[in-house]
Structure 1
Amino acid sequence: MTVTSLDPSPAGEPARAHRSAAEIGRTAAGARPLPPLESRRGHRLPAMADTVLPNGLRVIAARQPSTPMVELRMSVPFAGTTFAHAATAEVLATVLFRRGHAERAGREADMARHGATLAAHRTSGWLQVSGAAPGHALDTLVGALADAVTDGSVDEAEIGPVRDRMVRQIALIRAQPRVLAQEALVAHRYGELPALQEVPFAAPVAAVTGAAVRDLHHERLRPRGTVLVLVGDLDPERAVESVAAATGSWGAGGPSPAPLRLPSPHPCRVALVPRADAVQSQIKLVRPVVARTDDRFPALSLATLVFGGYFSSRLVTGIREDKGLAYRAEAGFEDHLDSLVLTADADTATEATVTAYREIRAELGRMAAVVPSAAEVDAAREYTVGMTMLTLASQAGFASSVATAVCLGHEPERVTAFPDLLRGVTRDQVARVAREFFDPDAFGGVVVGDADRLAAGLRAAGVEVADTEFQAARAESRDRNTR
């Protein structure tokens, strides 16, 4: 085999086929100059159709033919007011696209032949559907979705195995520290609130029947208020026509349930929630902030990133990297029904919990008192704009972003407009929202951990230690709502 030299050698020396990294980076005249950085271009909204069908279903179809595929996202309002609703909705999401209906056999065979997929999952407020198919199989994908949402038939033979397996899985999921901390936070701030329950209790899941699933499907799986997003190698107008034809028999039903409102939170305080013999603790602090539609939200987003929103933030650097007080530390936003809250949370070893809690409060205070530097603001802006552009570049990311934006009350244009809003935020605007929203005394929340080892230290740090009567009241309320 003949080897062609990549680097001509001086006369008299044998030719070499490989060069080191140092040799590649330099020339006889010195180091190679770096190529100029490409200016980051905004993501333009693709050709799109946005229509509300006669039955109330909103369909958004966008052409983004980067690959010969189509991504589907559908969001159905599904919040409920009881723990039984959460359990039944969880089972419904699991069986919605399961095999078993004889009349769906042909459709399922088409799905398998084309490599199309559909799946559903529940969050506290929504029933979410995601799917994908090659562009030429769009009608097959939409037809399979229509079959599932219009046919609510399910029998006990299907429900039984799903229900039993789910009960076993729930026992493991509900033992996870972060799940315990989230539920403790909700109970402490608002009382027992089933509408915010992400993981249902095992007891109401075990009691779910086929009749209950059928009733919930009929009552709540309705097109009115539902958003369906299609993104990919498609013609937007034709895609809307395909959905309209497939879902023509999907009845609009009665009026949509009124949106659930968040009850007034309990007085702002932090409480220790006992977890006997725990070897690690969860610290979760929250405070209400402005809605995403507020003019201050872009600046608040950057302030939150500077504080604890990514790997170079103050919180992560301070208590995790420099001091080693936490396994995980982060800040961000959560939707609590109709309200948005800012969160700061961390997972720590029991022996580091009190110190970590004090440090989180100190970082909050420093964020409010010390104006973020221009470098901090620019780094946070570059990070979030870059991550947004990366997400929007894929069909799946763009579809999910549009669906999320619309469910949060925005128009589809929000996904491409928000990076431009971030680019316009000034350092002074970030400083103002930091002073307004990062006062540590405005945060309430919970510390979940071993009370025997933490009570004295946390009490000295200003944390309220929950007594047994408080715990008993929570248990009584939970049992009452579970029935």
Structure 2
Amino acid sequence: MSGAATRMKTFAGVAAIAALVFAATPSHALDIKKMTLSNGATLLVSEQHQLPMVTVMVEFDAGTRRDPKGKEGLAELTARCLSQGTKDLTAPEFDQKVDFMGSSVGVSAGRDYSTAGMTSLKKYQGETLQLLSGILTEPGLRDADIERKRADQIAQIKAAEEEPGYTADVEFTKDLFGDAPYGHPGAGYADSVAKLTNDDVRGFYHDYYKLGSAIIAVAGDVTADEVKASLEKALTGLSGSVSPQPEPPPITVPAGLHVKLIDRNVMQANIIMGSGGVERSNPDFYRLKVMNYILGGGGFSSRLVKIVRSAHGLAYSVNSGFEPGKFQGAFTIGLQTKNESSNEAIDLVLQQLREIQEKPVSDAELDGAKKFLIGSFPLGLERQNAIASFMIQVEFYGLGLDYADQYPKLIGSVTKDDVLEVAKKYLHPDAMIVVAVANQSEAKIKTSDLEKAADAPSAQ
């Protein structure tokens, strides 16, 4: 659920150029060339010659789901430390070289995988690639840098813990996933990160940063043959592959509303409620996207916003979403409301879940959802870094190189019966976890399943 934000060292000039839109690259025209490097890595190349720039992203099977029990936050800390120079360049020296070229180079850890990347002007492609290669094949990982980054990570976690929304998210995640790979925040906990040693970081790097199971995506002013030759030369070492991670058992939430109350002196309650969702490979993914857009993922056009926020004035914000990954993710509804209106808002959300399960959505709702989801899709492929990230996801989740062509068809084929079917199958208003961070003396949130069941409004 909680993804680590990308921490790149970006010079202002490159940031401005990278923001330019690649309007000449509509999704249906995205040409991807696929090759395999001698070290076993999969290489995907999309030639984009509109601007003299190059983006390279390398995916490693080193996401936060790989954190060992008791060492939550290790993948995140390792990624942060890899950006701190090479064996020959200290962190300040490394940063100086990157900034001088107006390039960006860095490593970040997401839930399913970590990403090492670079963006540079075409004329600095070789030098920037050497810097990226350096932090991957011969990283500094010095004691002082690891200790500094560990302290930074702990401080950021403690600051985040002051936010009620973050607290609700962490507690919900723990309750839903338990000890499964997705059951902790990506940055870990303050106490778990404090226990991580310098050798833990070096060990995680050696265990999971292997190119034999990596995906490399390149987008920019290059040719496929040129890219392959330069990567073969630059990314020597890091041989071997990472063994697949065992899939966790399916998520089960027993019948009833399982309420966890966290008392905070806050003006408004932060509530997260939900249950198990789906993995990205689930064939119902596209029907769920349409259904969820209508329910709570479509902003002001969604039912939750129209009913809970606009019609009843019970929420400052309310939304729903599926968070699929390599493994089964979560389905969540998040809302912020006055402490005193917490019970009424929760009941109204449950009513909307039941209603979308009991009768078909309208033609207007279905058409609006499909038009938005199809129409907005190309906007996600307007920049080099977005194209490179897209290619990695397509390969990692096995979506097929023609996914950009297939997506509009998959969304466009969804019917009202499809929406009703997946709502019945994947929404569980009578078996949910509810976490509420609120001023509990004012909120008086009900914790009895029987009390909830008696009060829950039936669908109209």
TM-score normalized by the length of structure 2: 0.83
| Equivalent residue in structure 2 for 1:231, among 202, 219, 224 | 219
What is the aligned partner in structure 2 of residue 67 from structure 1? 51
Query: What amino acid is aligned across from residue 461 of structure 1 in structure 2?
Result: K
Distance 2:111 2:428 in 1: 29
Partner SS for 1:139: helix
Q: CA deviation at 1:386?
A: 2.0
Q: CA deviation at 1:332?
A: 1.3
* Residue-by-residue CA offset, 1:113-164 (whole Å, 9 max, x unaligned): 3321112222333222333111333323332222111114422222222222
Q: How does 1:29-108 map to 2 (within 5 A)?
A: 43-78=27-62, 79-99=65-85, 101-103=87-89
Distance 2:204 2:277 in 1: 34
Query: What amino acid is aligned across from residue 275 of structure 1 in structure 2?
Result: I
Across the two proteins, how many residue pairs are aligned to each other?
A: 422
Change (3 A) 1:431 1:266: closer
* Residue-by-residue CA offset, 1:54-110 (whole Å, 9 max, x unaligned): 323222111122322222323222232535543332222112122474347987665
What is the aligned partner in structure 2 of residue 138 from structure 1? 125
What is the aligned partner in structure 2 of residue 420 from structure 1? 409
What is the aligned partner in structure 1 of residue 114 from structure 2? 127
Query: What amino acid is aligned across from residue 128 of structure 1 in structure 2?
Result: T
Change (3 A) 1:186 1:341: closer
Identical amino acids, percent of aligned pairs: 22
CA contact (8 A) 2:73 2:193 kept: yes
Relative to structure 2, which stretch is displaced further, 102-111 or 87-96?
A: 102-111
Distance 2:319 2:80 in 1: 31
CA contact (8 A) 1:118 1:130 kept: yes
| Equivalent residue in structure 1 for 2:209, among 204, 221, 230 | 221
| Equivalent residue in structure 2 for 1:160, among 147, 155, 159 | 147
Relative to structure 2, which stretch is displaced further, 387-396 or 98-107?
A: 98-107
Partner SS for 2:258: strand
Instruction: Give yes or no for the alignment of 1:338 onto 2:346.
Output: no
Instruction: Give yes or no for the alignment of 1:296 onto 2:287.
Output: no
Change (3 A) 1:191 1:258: closer
What is the aligned partner in structure 1 of residue 237 from structure 2? 249
Contiguous gaps of at least 5 residues in structure 1: 1-40, 464-483
Query: What amino acid is aligned across from residue 73 of structure 1 in structure 2?
Result: M
Relative to structure 2, which stretch is displaced further, 259-268 or 220-229?
A: 259-268
CA contact (8 A) 2:252 2:276 kept: no
Q: How does 1:354-393 map to 2 (within 5 A)?
A: 354-393=343-382
Distance 1:291 1:124 in 2: 13
Distance 2:284 2:211 in 1: 34
CA contact (8 A) 2:315 2:345 kept: yes
What is the aligned partner in structure 1 of residue 13 from structure 2? none
Change (3 A) 1:412 1:178: farther
Distance 1:278 1:119 in 2: 39
* Residue-by-residue CA offset, 1:257-314 (whole Å, 9 max, x unaligned): 4244246434244322222234232332333345444443322211110111122111
Change (3 A) 1:268 1:80: farther
Q: CA deviation at 1:373?
A: 1.1
Distance 1:416 1:360 in 2: 36
Distance 1:450 1:336 in 2: 34
Instruction: Give yes or no for the alignment of 1:323 onto 2:312.
Output: yes
Distance 2:432 2:421 in 1: 18
Distance 1:291 1:268 in 2: 22
Partner SS for 1:339: coil
Q: CA deviation at 1:392?
A: 1.4
CA contact (8 A) 1:272 1:455 kept: no
Relative to structure 2, which stretch is displaced further, 387-396 or 64-73?
A: 64-73
Change (3 A) 1:298 1:100: closer
Contiguous gaps of at least 5 residues in structure 2: 1-24, 455-460
Query: What amino acid is aligned across from residue 236 of structure 2 in structure 1?
Result: G
Distance 2:255 2:56 in 1: 41
Distance 2:117 2:314 in 1: 39
Query: What amino acid is aligned across from residue 53 of structure 2 in structure 1?
Result: M
Q: CA deviation at 1:372?
A: 1.1
Query: What amino acid is aligned across from residue 81 of structure 2 in structure 1?
Result: V
Query: What amino acid is aligned across from residue 32 of structure 2 in structure 1?
Result: M
Query: What amino acid is aligned across from residue 121 of structure 2 in structure 1?
Result: P
Partner SS for 1:301: helix
Distance 2:204 2:274 in 1: 33
Q: Which entry has the higher C-alpha Rg, 1 or 2?
A: 1
Distance 2:424 2:297 in 1: 17
Distance 2:124 2:236 in 1: 19
What is the aligned partner in structure 2 of residue 410 from structure 1? 399
What is the aligned partner in structure 2 of residue 437 from structure 1? 426
Relative to structure 2, which stretch is displaced further, 438-447 or 221-230?
A: 438-447
Distance 1:370 1:174 in 2: 41
Q: CA deviation at 1:385?
A: 1.6
